[in-house]
Amino acid sequence: MRAILLTFAVVLSLESSGASVAQISTASLLGGTMIQALTDRSSRSQQKDIRPEESAEIVNFKAIVDTVLEVSQWTPTFAAQKEIRMIHAKGSFEIKMTPAEPTDFEKANDITRFTSDKTWHGDFEGVSQGEMITGSTGSTGSLAYVAIERITGKLNGRQGSFTFSHRASMMKGDSTSAGDLSVLVVPNSGTGELTGLTGSLNIQIDASGKHTWTFDYYLP
């Protein structure tokens, strides 16, 4: 960001004075040698080895650079901006799972496909449809699933849609909290007022089978 701001200042300065942008290359700016380039031109001015109109350019150029340098000192980093914008949402959902007709391969390898329909409540109000593939190994009791889910509704009042990618694994008999679960927003899948959405979802299932969720997310 700092390098971009400095480059922008140089272009503004040179263009406003009618000078050629090529006099100080972008490569030298991004390489951190902009101040050296300015110093060189100031030195030429002191040595009277510069045209009068170029001297005015230097004064204008230095004023802009000094201002940009000052602003860039308090420009937040990308990580800091994301931290500021992080939002915590929560709620519950009802889900209906419908088994799909298995293929011969799925029958032979303990793989099952489902379609899912959910109704979401809480900080997100909406619906979703998805497809899940589950697999298990009878001899060890290992279980796993992957899924893709498209969600449409309002997230804290902002209307749009986005996609979740699910991945989970656990052992038979484990509680849901003991497994390895990852549910992430697919990058660039947000639409409408949810464009640019990123985040991760956590799902909990209580003893009665009720599903609750928490969602930590960022929006531009």
Question: What is the CATH number for 162?
Answer: 2.40.350.10
Kindly state whether residues 127 and 23 are assigned to the same domain.
no
The pLDDT, as a whole number, for residue 170 is: 85
The pLDDT, as a whole number, for residue 40 is: 52
Kindly state whether residues 157 and 59 are assigned to the same domain.
no
Query: Count of domains in the chain?
Result: 2
Domain limit, last residue, from 44, 59, 75: 75
Kindly state whether residues 68 and 147 are assigned to the same domain.
no
Kindly state whether residues 27 and 108 are assigned to the same domain.
no
**126 φ, ψ to 5°?**
175, -160
Kindly state whether residues 140 and 184 are assigned to the same domain.
yes
Kindly state whether residues 110 and 150 are assigned to the same domain.
yes
Specify the residue for token string 């497809």: 131
**179 φ, ψ to 5°?**
-80, 175
Kindly state whether residues 198 and 102 are assigned to the same domain.
yes
Structural domain boundaries, residue 63: 2-75
pTM: 0.61
The pLDDT, as a whole number, for residue 18 is: 47
Domain limit, last residue, from 26, 57, 75: 75
Per-residue pLDDT of the chain (220 residues; tens, 9 = 90+): 544 444 444 444 444 444 444 343 333 344 444 444 444 544 554 555 555 555 555 556 556 556 544 544 544 455 555 555 799 999 999 999 999 999 999 999 889 999 999 999 999 999 999 999 999 887 788 899 999 999 999 999 999 999 999 999 988 777 655 568 899 999 999 999 999 999 999 999 898 989 999 999 999 8
The pLDDT, as a whole number, for residue 58 is: 52
Kindly state whether residues 26 and 112 are assigned to the same domain.
no
Task: Please say whether the beta carbons of 70 and 18 come within 8 A.
Answer: no
Q: How far is CA 42 from the centre of its chain?
A: 43
Domain limit, last residue, from 15, 42, 75: 75
The pLDDT, as a whole number, for residue 7 is: 44
The pLDDT, as a whole number, for residue 55 is: 56
* DSSP assignment of the chain: -HHHHHHHHHHHHHHHHT--GGGS-HHHHHTT-HHHHHHHHHHHHHTT-S-HHHHHHHHHHHHHHHHHHHHHHHPPPHHHHHHHH-EEEEEEEEEEEEEPPPPHHHHHTTEEEEEEEEEEEESEEEEEEEEEEEEEETTTTEEEEEEEEEEEEEETTEEEEEEEEEEEEEETT--GGGSEEEEEEPTT---GGGTT-EEEEEEEE-TT--EEEEEEEE--
Show the 3-state SS of 45-65. Answer: HHCCCCCHHHHHHHHHHHHHH
